[in-house]
C-alpha cells in the first residue's frame, strides 16, 4: 500500500519564508489576526486527517468503486467513505474558508488550498465530494438571492449538505451553447427543469442528507448560444420553510460512468424530469454566475494534480532507496549488498527530480495564486484588488493546465521508477497515473485553457494582464542581477521573459490576420508561460535557499539542488516550444480532411 506524509516543512517554507503570507494577510481586515501559529496548527491537524483517515481508503475506493441501485436511483460510495466524511464534518473542515455569517471560520483561501493539496494527495476521489461543495458555496455566495443564501449556505458551510455543478450534456461537451435542458416558469416564481446531464461528479451519493445541484438550462425565451443560458439551484430534496427537508425532487442518477480512474467518486448521468429549481442570478446570464464555480474548480483541479504529483514522488523515492538492482556505472555504492539501490542511477534521479521540481514549483504557484484571491476578495485598496484579480485571471488557466500536464508526466515517471512493479495494482502507482489523467480534461480541456490564456487573457486585453506578470519577473531580475551567485537562475529567467514577450507580439499580429494562428500556438504558448512562472518561483526559492547556505540545513541544500535541476533539465523544453509555437497553422491545416 502506498504511503503519504504531509509535506509540512515545504508548506511552511512556501508560506512563511518564500511568500511571507502573514505580512499580506495583515493588510486584509478579514484576516489580519491570522498568524503563523494558527496556520501551522491547522495544517498539522489537516495533514493528520489526510494521512490517517482518507489515505488508507484510496485503494479501497479504487477497487470497490461506487454502486447504483437502479430501483431507487441511490448511489453507495466505497467502504469507509461515509464514515470519513462524518469525521470531516465533525472536525469542522468544510467551514474552514467559509463566511462567518453562514457559520464558517472565515480563514484565508490560502490556508484552505493547502488543506486541499493534502486531501488530494491522500485520496482525490474522496476529496472531490467536499471540493465541489465548496465551489457551489462560492457560486451561491456570490450570486444567490438573500433567501437562497440563507437556505443553502449554512448547510453547505457545515458540510451537512454537498453541492455539484450540472453543466454539460452528451451532445455538447465544452460547447455549452448547445445545451438543451429546459426551464419552464411556474406561477410561484420557481421553474420546472427538464433535461439530461452527463459527467456530474458527486451527482449522487450517500455521504450527506441533501445534494444541492447548480444546473444550467434554457428559459423559453432564451436566445441561441451561450448568451441564452440561465443558472438554477435544484436540490435533491426540497427544503421546507423551516429549513427541514421535504419531498424528493425530480432529479436522479440514471447511470454511473465506468471510468479509467477516480473510481471512488460517483460520476453520474443525471436526469431531470420536471425538477423544481430556482433562478440564480440574472436570466440568460447563467455562465457568468457559474464561472465563479468553474474558476474555483479549475484551481481545484490544479490542486488535485499537485497532490498526486507529491504523493507519487514520495512513494517513488522510498522505493528507489530500497530497491536493489545493478551497480552504479561509476562503481559499487553499496558494496556490502548484492546490488546498489536504484537511486544511484542518473536516470532514476532524473525521474524523481522531475516530480519533485514540478511538485515544489506547483506548490509555490498554487499558494501565490490563493494569496492573490485573498487580496482580490478582502483588500480595501482598489488597486491591489484589481491587480490581484488580473493576475488570478491570467494564472488560473496556467494552474489548471500546466500543473495537470506536469502531474501526468510526473506520475508516469514515478511509476517508471518502480519498473514492472509500478504497473501492478498493489503498489498503488498505476492508480495515481489513472487518477491524474482526468485532470487534463476536467473543467475545460487543457486546450481550452490554452485558448483562454492566449486568446482572452493575453491578446484580448492587449497584454495588460501579462504585463503585470512580466513586471514581477522584471523586478526580480532587477533586484538579483547584481548578485553573482544568482546569475545561473536570473540569466535564463530574463532570456525566457524576453522570448515570451516577443512571441506574444508575433502571435498577436498573426492572429489578427488569421484567428486559427492562435489556435495552432495556444498549447505551446501556455506551456511556455507556465515555465516562465515556474522559473520565476524557482529563482525566488533559490534566493531563499542561498540565504541559508551557511546553516548547512539539508532542507535548503535540497531546495537549491532541485532549483538547479529545474533550470538544467526542465526549462530547456522551452526551446522546442518556441519553435513549435512559431510553426504556424499551415502544417496543421494543409492536409485535406479526406486524407486523415
Nearest one of 530, 528, 527, 514 to 584, comparing CA atoms: 514
Determine contact, residues 584/510, Cβ cutoff 8 Å.
Answer: yes
Residue 38 dihedral angles phi and psi, to the nearest 5°: -65, -45
Cell 502531474 found at: 407
| Residue whose C-alpha cell is 455521504 | 207
Q: Nine-digit cell at 148?
A: 437562497
The 3-state secondary structure of 286-319, one letter per residue: HHHHHHHHHHHHHHHHHHHHHHHHHHHHHHHHHH
Cell, residue 257: 460512468
Q: What is d(CA 370, CA 363) in angstroms, rounded to the nearest whole number?
A: 11
Q: Which of 386, 381, 380 is nearest to 29 (CA)?
A: 380
- Joined together, the cell numbers standing for residue 500 give 515570451
Q: What is the DSSP letter of 423?
A: G
Asked whether the beta carbons of 488 and 360 are under 8 A apart, the reply is no
Centre a 10 Å sphere on the Cβ of residue 236 and count the other Cβ atoms it contains: 22
Tell me the three state secondary structure of residue 215: strand
CA distance 39 to 47: 12
From 312, 504, 299, 270, select the one nearest 414 (Cα to Cα). 312
Measured in Å, how far apart are the chain's first and last C-alpha atoms? 44
CA nearest neighbour of 203 among 129, 294, 141, 112: 129
Among 117, 443, 480, 517, the active-site one is: 443
Contact by Cβ (8 Å): 297, 396: no
Cell of 380: 480595501
Mode of pairing for the β-strands spanning 210-217 and 245-248: unpaired
In the residue annotation, 160 being an active-site residue is answered as no
- Helix/strand/coil (H/E/C) assignment for every residue in 70-113: CCCCEEECCCCHHHHHHHHHHCCHHHCCCCHHHCCCCCCHHHHH
Residues 6+ apart with CB under 8 A from 324: 334, 337, 338, 339, 340, 341, 342
- At which residue does the C-alpha cell 470531516 appear? 88
Angle between helices 109-143 and 81-90 (to 10 degrees): 90
Write out the catalytic residue numbers.
443
Amino acid at each position: 500500500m502506498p504511503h503519504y506524509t504531509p509535506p509540512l516543512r515545504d508548506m511552511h517554507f512556501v508560506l512563511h519564508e518564500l511568500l511571507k503570507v502573514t505580512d499580506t494577510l495583515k493588510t486584509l481586515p478579514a484576516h489580519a489576526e491570522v498568524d503563523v501559529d494558527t496556520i501551522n496548527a491547522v495544517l498539522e491537524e489537516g495533514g493528520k486527517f489526510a494521512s490517517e483517515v482518507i489515505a488508507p481508503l484510496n485503494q479501497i475506493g479504487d477497487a470497490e468503486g461506487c454502486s447504483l441501485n437502479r430501483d431507487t436511483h441511490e448511489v453507495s460510495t466505497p467502504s469507509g467513505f461515509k464514515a470519513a466524511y462524518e469525521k470531516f464534518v465533525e472536525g469542522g473542515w468544510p467551514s474552514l474558508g467559509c463566511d462567518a455569517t453562514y457559520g464558517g471560520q472565515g480563514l484565508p483561501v490560502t490556508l484552505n488550498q493547502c488543506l486541499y493539496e493534502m486531501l488530494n494527495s491522500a485520496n482525490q476521489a474522496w476529496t472531490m465530494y467536499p471540493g465541489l461543495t465548496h465551489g457551489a458555496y462560492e457560486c451561491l455566495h456570490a450570486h444567490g438571492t438573500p433567501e437562497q443564501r440563507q437556505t443553502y449556505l449554512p448547510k453547505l458551510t457545515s458540510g451537512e449538505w454537498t453541492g455539484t455543478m450540472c453543466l454539460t450534456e452528451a451532445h455538447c461537451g465544452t460547447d455549452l451553447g448547445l445545451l438543451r435542458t429546459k426551464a419552464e416558469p411556474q406561477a410561484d416564481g420557481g421553474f420546472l427543469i427538464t433535461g439530461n446531464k452527463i459527467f456530474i461528479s458527486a451527482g449522487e451519493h450517500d455521504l450527506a442528507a441533501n445534494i444541492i445541484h447548480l444546473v444550467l438550462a434554457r428559459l423559453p425565451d432564451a436566445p441561441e448560444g451561450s448568451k441564452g443560458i440561465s443558472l438554477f439551484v435544484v436540490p435533491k430534496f426540497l427544503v421546507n420553510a423551516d429549513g427541514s427537508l421535504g419531498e424528493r425532487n425530480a432529479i436522479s442518477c440514471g447511470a454511473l460512468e465506468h471510468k479509467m480512474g477516480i473510481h471512488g467518486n460517483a460520476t453520474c448521468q443525471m436526469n431531470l424530469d420536471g425538477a423544481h429549481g430556482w433562478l440564480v442570478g440574472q436570466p440568460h446570464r447563467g455562465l457568468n454566475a457559474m464561472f465563479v464555480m468553474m474558476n474555483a474548480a479549475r484551481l481545484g483541479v490544479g490542486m488535485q494534480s499537485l497532490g498526486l504529483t507529491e504523493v507519487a514522488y514520495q512513494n517513488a523515492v522510498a522505493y528507489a532507496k530500497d530497491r536493489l538492482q545493478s551497480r552504479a556505472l561509476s562503481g559499487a555504492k553499496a558494496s556490502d549488498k548484492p546490488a546498489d539501490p536504484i537511486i544511484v542511477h542518473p536516470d532514476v534521479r532524473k525521474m524523481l527530480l522531475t516530480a519533485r521540481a514540478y511538485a515544489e514549483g506547483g506548490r509555490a504557484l498554487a499558494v501565490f495564486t490563493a494569496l492573490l484571491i485573498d487580496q482580490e476578495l478582502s483588500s480595501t485598496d482598489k488597486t491591489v484588488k484589481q491587480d490581484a484579480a488580473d493576475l488570478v485571471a491570467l494564472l488560473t488557466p496556467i494552474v489548471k493546465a500546466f500543473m495537470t500536464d506536469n502531474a501526468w508526466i510526473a506520475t508516469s515517471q514515478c511509476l517508471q521508477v518502480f519498473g514492472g512493479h509500478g504497473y501492478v495494482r498493489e503498489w498503488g502507482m498505476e492508480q495515481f497515473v489513472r487518477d491524474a489523467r482526468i485532470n487534463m480534461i476536467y473543467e475545460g480541456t487543457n486546450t481550452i485553457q490554452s485558448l483562454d490564456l492566449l486568446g482572452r487573457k493575453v491578446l484580448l486585453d492587449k497584454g495588460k494582464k501579462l504585463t503585470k506578470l512580466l513586471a514581477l519577473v522584471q523586478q526580480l531580475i532587477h533586484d538579483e542581477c547584481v548578485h553573482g551567485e544568482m546569475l545561473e537562475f536570473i540569466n535564463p529567467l530574463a532570456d525566457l521573459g524576453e522570448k515570451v514577450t516577443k512571441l506574444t507580439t508575433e502571435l498577436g499580429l498573426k492572429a489578427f490576420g488569421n484567428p486559427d494562428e492562435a489556435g495552432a500556438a495556444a498549447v505551446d504558448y501556455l506551456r511556455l508561460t507556465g515555465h516562465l512562472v515556474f522559473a520565476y518561483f524557482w529563482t525566488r526559492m533559490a534566493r531563499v535557499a542561498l540565504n541559508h547556505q551557511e546553516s548547512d540545513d539539508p532542507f535548503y541544500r535540497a531546495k537549491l539542488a532541485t532549483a538547479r535541476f529545474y533550470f538544467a533539465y526542465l526549462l530547456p523544453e522551452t526551446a522546442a516550444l518556441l519553435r513549435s509555437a512559431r510553426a504556424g497553422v499551415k502544417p496543421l491545416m494543409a492536409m485535406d480532411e479526406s486524407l486523415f
